[in-house]
A and B are shown apart, each in its own frame.
Chain A
Amino acid sequence: MKARNRELFGLLPVSLLVTAGFTAVLITRSRDINKVTVTYGLVFLGACLFAHIFIRARLPDADPYMFPLVALLAAFGLVEIYRISPHRALGQAVWFGVGLGLFCATIVFLRDHRRLERYRYTIAVVGIALLLAPRVPGIGRVTNGAYLSIGIGPIQFQPAEVSKIAIIIFLASYLNEVRDVLVQGRLPRLSLKHLGPLLVIWGAAMLMLIFIRDLGSAIMFYGAFLAVLYVATNRLSLVLPGLALFVGGSAFLANHITHVHDRVEAWLHPFRPDLVDGKAYQIAQSVFAQADGGLFGQGFGQSLLEVTKGHPIIPAAHTDVIYAVIVDELGLFGGTAILVIALLFVARGFKAATMATEGFSTLLAAGLTAVFALQVFVIVGGVTRVIPLTGVTLPFVSYGGSSIVANFILVALLLVISDRARRDPGRVRGGLV
């Protein structure tokens, strides 16, 4: 089967999930919702089909599984958001369309991703500026004590989502260039010249903790940096001290930045009487919701979301803790399905990285994939109490425009890299795909 036909075939489960999910929600909540809302599902499926045709035309050799996997994650998210609030599902379907628009634009205008190398310092500056924008008075907004979004008028935007791509582009390009130096230097003789950039990035991560007060974002960015560093140099003697510095630094800061400290306390003692109805309310409720899910969940539309009309039992059910709602309705199996889909996407991303012909492409694909995987780990880990809960979105599943748009650009970049790698006949070595 040709790659693009595989892709089309891969969209079948997506349409099945959307149809079944919308039907189930409609049946269980028929009294509360308007039948017109079913069209949101059709809008979504139409957008998927359009994207497929677009990829067929522009990137005929790109990885055939990435887009169906992304669409499957988005379908889970859309059905769940539709279940939480039909009104928001329209927003999500529209954002999906906008995301696809930017996805297409990226593919059309970028053509060759290697052009990005030329602008790497500009991109890095933009990335860091975006990251710090929420601290700018006037446009910065505080969410639960963390500086994660900017707002201009009614439009809210989480700049970290876009910033992560910019910073990965910079890191891939920079590390590709200094890679030889880092690989050759022996540890006793590694000078400040080698370690300098490393320390700068570590410092930046610590500053992120101080300025935006979000441990999740810091783990995501710094973890992606360590991943790219490892892929570029294969030197654990650089990665492990880097990891130790981060753990030590964030442990120190967690005790000195109130907001981060609160999150850690809530993570460690969610049921302590003084926390359970206060600072640990969200994580405690998230765990209670999962306990209700059991193995198979309660079914679409069956979970308990509101204490009374308009009073949600879990705050931010459609964004931060959407994974808990999915586990509540679809059980351990549903939650594992989300994680397996995300992991398969990660596998495809790394596959693209290994097939790429030159250093920058490999590092860029590996970095983008790593940052995606880390984002999933940070938010699902937060919701399941593996690490403290922080305000990162679950890519393609959570409600939110900036997250969808940014992750679509990420997927577009991966597809462009993959298309180029597979088109080069010298690199296709009769592998599986």
Chain B
Amino acid sequence: MNLQIGRLFGLFVVLFGVLVFFTSRWTVFDARSLQDNAHNRRPLLKAQRIPRGLILADDGTHLTANRHVGSGETLRYYRSYPTGSLFSHAVGYSFVSRGSAGIEKAYNRELTGQENEFKSLIDQLGGGTKAGDDLHSTLDPRAQRVALSALGGQRGSIVALDPRTGAIKVMASLPDYNPNDIPARYAQLNSDTSSPLFNRATQARYPPGSTFKVVTAAAAIDSGRYTPDSVISGRNNKIISGVPLQNFGGADYGPISLTDALTHSVNTVFGEVGEKLGKHTMFKYMKRFGFGSRLGLDYPTEEISPSGVFSGRRLLGTSDSVDVGRVAIGQERLQVTPLQMAMVAAAIGNGGRLMQPRLVDSVTKPDGGLRSRNFPSLRSTVMSSRTASELAGMMGKVVQEGTGTAAALSGIQVAGKTGTAEVTNGVNQAWFIAFAPVTNPRVAIAATVERTSGEGGTVAAPIAKQVLQVLLGGSGG
């Protein structure tokens, strides 16, 4: 009977091998997806047991704080936000009951100190208490405060960044919320028809209006097909894609240079340019500016919408039927986020080199040592530096003598472009995008106001001006 016993033992070795295999499946191979499973409350409960890393503004202001309750096995840390609603959308929130959003969500691994498992094992053996890493953000509280007050309670958004580094300084979105209210008032905030939880800076898809003409101008000049001095007819009711196109206010221009056409935002000129460049060239340059992507921001991807031409929720491409002449002037089904338009301004301001946008500059360990750094990195070369400097000159004229004079600063030249997209009769989406100073800019900005009766030049440009002023007038970058 010994042979049978030997075989039986062999069977049990195999069965126990299956047990080891399944254990390794849960502990190693599937561990990450199990930890990310929406029904798994453990990561959140565990995160409560260690002090979460802090999020700091670029001037060192604490944007988050921790308070603790209980002791020993029942010790729990809870988040609070000393600056209240100042950076509600950018920083987001983190609560066990309601999950997380914003930077709190995107950097959860760092904030809970779990990005290095081996390290934490050593920490444990050494008896040290675990703590999360701190984040040093690029956000500027002073400029953010000015941005919020400049919006003056109007629904809209402002994004400002440093075109040289991609560091986002201002990310304002109104209406906003106080993250300290999330645990108690989440349901109410979530069902509020004014969508205060929605980050308009990264998620709202607005028609860009004439601000998009700078994208068309970039494609026109950089492709070599046009120069700033190319003369094109600015006649009203010119046929674009088989349908007559009107200028703003029905204005009729004769032959006019591309520069003057931008200064006065002449629709029929840019409609013709877009049509002549064609869908492929236009989409190529849009892609270089970041359209169609989530822009690679260090922010939760589900809180970023791509920009582009949409059919419902579907992003259209070159194979779809698109009225490119009207796309070229920011009409058609073109929808953009304020972040995208700020990046358009930044790319032109930075000599055609679009930098990767980012909200966090560095991550430091609880002992203060550097854990990692988000160095400035080139995202794409959108156009030649020559095109960029010609475009900068053209946009400078917009602020000097065109539709954007309301954004002019004394002593500092501003390059900008207005936009007014009619949403319904007499109700506009007002836009202003800009960078300053024209040579070697330190700030690029996009400001937009929802459902206003005013225009880009009268509503959005003065708002952008205030933010530019504080960002340029401050430490000087």
Report A's interface with B, CB cutoff 8 A.
27, 29, 31-32, 227, 230-232, 234, 271, 273, 276-277, 284, 287-296, 298-299, 302, 304, 306-309, 313, 327, 331-332, 335-336, 339, 342-343, 346-347, 350, 353-354, 359, 362-363, 366, 370, 373, 376-377, 380-381, 384-386
Smallest CB-CB separation from B34: which chain A residue? A291
Return 15 A-B CB contacts under 8 Å, by A number.
Answer: A231-B4, A231-B8, A232-B1, A290-B23, A291-B31, A294-B27, A295-B28, A304-B45, A346-B9, A353-B1, A362-B5, A370-B12, A380-B19, A384-B19, A386-B19
A234 touching B4, Cβ below 8 Å: yes
Smallest CB-CB separation from B11: which chain A residue? A227
B35 touching A291, Cβ below 8 Å: yes
CA gap between A384 and B24 in the complex, in Å:
9
B42 touching A373, Cβ below 8 Å: no
Which residue in B15, B28, B73 is a CB contact (below 8 Å) of A332? B28
CA gap between A327 and B24 in the complex, in Å:
10
Smallest CB-CB separation from B46: which chain A residue? A304
B45 touching A313, Cβ below 8 Å: yes
Instruction: Please name all residues of chain A whose beta carbon is closer than 8 Å to the beta carbon of B12 when the two chains form the complex.
Output: 343, 346, 370, 373, 377
- Nearest-neighbour CB distance to chain B for A12, whole angstroms, equals 23
A370 touching B34, Cβ below 8 Å: no
Which residue in B19, B20, B39 is a CB contact (below 8 Å) of A276? B39
- Nearest-neighbour CB distance to chain B for A395, whole angstroms, equals 14
B26 touching A291, Cβ below 8 Å: yes
**Dominant SS at the B interface?**
helix
Which residue in A27, A288, A295, A307 is a CB contact (below 8 Å) of B40? A288
- Nearest-neighbour CB distance to chain B for A49, whole angstroms, equals 30
B72 touching A32, Cβ below 8 Å: yes
Contact A313 to B19, CB < 8 A, known contacts A29-B73, A335-B27 = no
Instruction: Please name all residues of chain A whose beta carbon is closer than 8 Å to the beta carbon of B6 when the two chains form the complex.
Output: 350, 354
Interface residues on B, range: 35 or more
CA gap between A342 and B13 in the complex, in Å:
11
- Nearest-neighbour CB distance to chain B for A329, whole angstroms, equals 11
- How many A-B pairs with Cβ below 8 Å? 142
B185 proximal to A (CB < 8 A):
no
B27 touching A293, Cβ below 8 Å: yes
Chain B 27-69 residues near chain A, CB threshold 8 A: 27-28, 30-31, 34-35, 37, 39-42, 45-46, 49
CA gap between A327 and B73 in the complex, in Å:
20
Instruction: Please name all residues of chain B whose beta carbon is closer than 8 Å to the beta carbon of A373 when the two chains form the complex.
Output: 12, 15-16
Smallest CB-CB separation from A331: which chain B residue? B27
What 7 pairs between A and B have smallest CB-CB spacing? A31-B72, A291-B34, A384-B22, A290-B26, A291-B31, A332-B27, A231-B4
- Nearest-neighbour CB distance to chain B for A37, whole angstroms, equals 15
- Nearest-neighbour CB distance to chain A for B227, whole angstroms, equals 61
B71 proximal to A (CB < 8 A):
yes
Contact A31 to B31, CB < 8 A, known contacts A276-B39, A289-B42, A366-B8 = no
A296 touching B16, Cβ below 8 Å: no
B2 proximal to A (CB < 8 A):
yes
Which residue in B2, B42, B49 is a CB contact (below 8 Å) of A288? B42
CA gap between A298 and B121 in the complex, in Å:
8
A307 touching B45, Cβ below 8 Å: yes
Instruction: Please name all residues of chain A whose beta carbon is closer than 8 Å to the beta carbon of B20 when the two chains form the complex.
Output: 332, 335-336, 339
Which residue in B4, B49, B72, B124 is a CB contact (below 8 Å) of A299? B124
Instruction: Please name all residues of chain A whose beta carbon is closer than 8 Å to the beta carbon of B39 when the two chains form the complex.
Output: 271, 273, 276-277, 284
B22 touching A386, Cβ below 8 Å: yes
B117 touching A294, Cβ below 8 Å: yes
Smallest CB-CB separation from A231: which chain B residue? B4
- Nearest-neighbour CB distance to chain B for A419, whole angstroms, equals 19
Instruction: Please name all residues of chain B whose beta carbon is closer than 8 Å to the beta carbon of A299 when the two chains form the complex.
Output: 124-125
Instruction: Please name all residues of chain A whose beta carbon is closer than 8 Å to the beta carbon of B25 when the two chains form the complex.
Output: 384
A335 touching B28, Cβ below 8 Å: no
Instruction: Please name all residues of chain B whose beta carbon is closer than 8 Å to the beta carbon of A366 when the two chains form the complex.
Output: 1, 5, 8
Instruction: Please name all residues of chain B whose beta carbon is closer than 8 Å to the beta carbon of A29 when the two chains form the complex.
Output: 72-73
Instruction: Please name all residues of chain B whose beta carbon is closer than 8 Å to the beta carbon of A343 when the two chains form the complex.
Output: 12-13, 16
Instruction: Please name all residues of chain B whose beta carbon is closer than 8 Å to the beta carbon of A304 when the two chains form the complex.
Output: 42, 45-46, 49
CA gap between A346 and B13 in the complex, in Å:
10
CA gap between A302 and B125 in the complex, in Å:
12
- Nearest-neighbour CB distance to chain A for B430, whole angstroms, equals 44
CA gap between A318 and B26 in the complex, in Å:
20
CA gap between A342 and B127 in the complex, in Å:
32
- Nearest-neighbour CB distance to chain B for A369, whole angstroms, equals 9
B23 touching A227, Cβ below 8 Å: no
Smallest CB-CB separation from B70: which chain A residue? A309
Smallest CB-CB separation from B124: which chain A residue? A299
B27 touching A288, Cβ below 8 Å: no
A234 touching B27, Cβ below 8 Å: no
B8 touching A342, Cβ below 8 Å: no
A231 touching B37, Cβ below 8 Å: no
- Nearest-neighbour CB distance to chain A for B318, whole angstroms, equals 40
A230 touching B27, Cβ below 8 Å: no
B42 touching A292, Cβ below 8 Å: yes
Instruction: Please name all residues of chain B whose beta carbon is closer than 8 Å to the beta carbon of A309 when the two chains form the complex.
Output: 73-74
What 12 additional pairs, Cβ within 8 angstroms, besides A230-B7, A287-B34? A230-B8, A271-B37, A290-B27, A292-B31, A295-B27, A332-B24, A332-B27, A336-B23, A362-B5, A366-B5, A373-B12, A384-B25
B184 proximal to A (CB < 8 A):
no
* Most interface-central of B3, B8, B28 (chain A CB within 10 A): B8
Instruction: Please name all residues of chain A whose beta carbon is closer than 8 Å to the beta carbon of B13 when the two chains form the complex.
Output: 343
B18 proximal to A (CB < 8 A):
yes
* Most interface-central of A313, A332, A363 (chain B CB within 10 A): A332
B22 touching A350, Cβ below 8 Å: no
Contact A288 to B4, CB < 8 A, known contacts A294-B27, A386-B19 = no
CA gap between A29 and B41 in the complex, in Å:
22
Which residue in A31, A291, A302, A331 is a CB contact (below 8 Å) of B124? A302
Instruction: Please name all residues of chain B whose beta carbon is closer than 8 Å to the beta carbon of A331 when the two chains form the complex.
Output: 27
Smallest CB-CB separation from A302: which chain B residue? B124
